[in-house]
Amino acid sequence: MAKIQNVTFLGYADAKEGDELFEAAFEVAKLCAKHGYTVVNGGGPGVMKAATLGAKSAGGKTIGITFYPKDLPLFEGRDESNTVDELIVEDNYVKRTLKLLAYGQTFIFFNGGTGTISEFAMAWGLARLYYGHHKPLILYGDFWQEIIFAFTKNMYIRSEERQVFKIVDTPEDVIGAISEFESKLSKQKHLHENPIFRI
């Protein structure tokens, strides 16, 4: 069976400890770490910090990918309290996003704002372009049902574009989705072969 190693967490940077969203990301990362997955995130606050804390609570490994902007006052930036094991610093936001997508072998999208939307759009588009040897997406939370329904109702969504993700709403379902993806990947060769991911 093909083995997924790195799982990238993406979501709302303004989520606070004690928030339902923060706690969900924490618990998912904790369970991922217990199953031996490395947790990757943007090195910032909110869902990113929750992912690191959750992974570390189970003795897991974490990787943060960030950059230090000079002229982006609304970018959440690096959270020094998000103490990842390995920190990768990029030159700008686009390179940072591409690196997050490069390091992950599957992506978990939590609720978020425009940053999360842009990351989801890029990951979804790449999955469609590389369909058949793509990196799978996990959409966490039932609210995704309504979002995907709106896309499929109002936009030109191809059939394969609906097959690259799975919507889940519990940490256990995340692990089940990853296992399902690994089983499918065992029949393919990709994981690191897509040129766009060699960054």
Beta pairing partners, 147:
none
CATH of the domain at 113: 3.40.50.450
Report the alpha-carbon distance of residue 2 to residue 11 in Å, rounded.
27
Rounded to the nearest 5 degrees, what angle is found at the Cα of 125, between the Cα atoms of 116 and 20?
Answer: 25
Phi, psi of 123 (to 5 degrees): -65, -40
Structural domain boundaries, residue 36? 6-188
Q: What is the separation, in whole angstroms, between the first and last Cα of the chain?
A: 25
Summarised one tens digit per residue, pLDDT across range 7-55 is 999 999 999 999 999 999 999 999 999 999 999 999 999 999 999 999 9
Question: Is 120 inside any structural domain?
Answer: yes
Q: Sort 158 into a burial class: Cβ within 10 Å, 0-12 / 13-18 / 19+.
A: exposed
Number of domains in the chain: 1
Question: Is 196 inside any structural domain?
Answer: no
Q: Which helix (H) or strand (E) holds 182?
A: helix 171-185
Phi, psi of 38 (to 5 degrees): -85, 135
Question: Is 174 inside any structural domain?
Answer: yes
Question: Is 1 inside any structural domain?
Answer: no
> Could you tell me the pTM of the whole model?
0.92
The residue to which tokens 């031996």 are assigned? 36
Sorted by sequence, the CB contacts under 8 Å of residue 183 that are 6+ apart come out as 1
Report the alpha-carbon distance of residue 38 to residue 16 in Å, rounded.
23
Q: What does the radius of gyration of the chain's CA atoms come to, in whole angstroms?
A: 16
Query: Is residue 199's pLDDT more than 60?
Result: no
Question: Is 15 inside any structural domain?
Answer: yes
Written as one letter, the residue type at 19 is D
Report the alpha-carbon distance of residue 40 to residue 156 in Å, rounded.
32
pLDDT average, residue stretch 183-190: 69
Question: Is 73 inside any structural domain?
Answer: yes
Report the alpha-carbon distance of residue 90 to residue 130 in Å, rounded.
25
Question: Is 48 inside any structural domain?
Answer: yes
Instruction: State what percent of residues in the chain have pLDDT above 90.
Output: 82
Question: Is 194 inside any structural domain?
Answer: no
pLDDT value for 150: 97
pLDDT value for 189: 55
pLDDT average, residue stretch 85-100: 95
DSSP letter assigned to residue 84: -
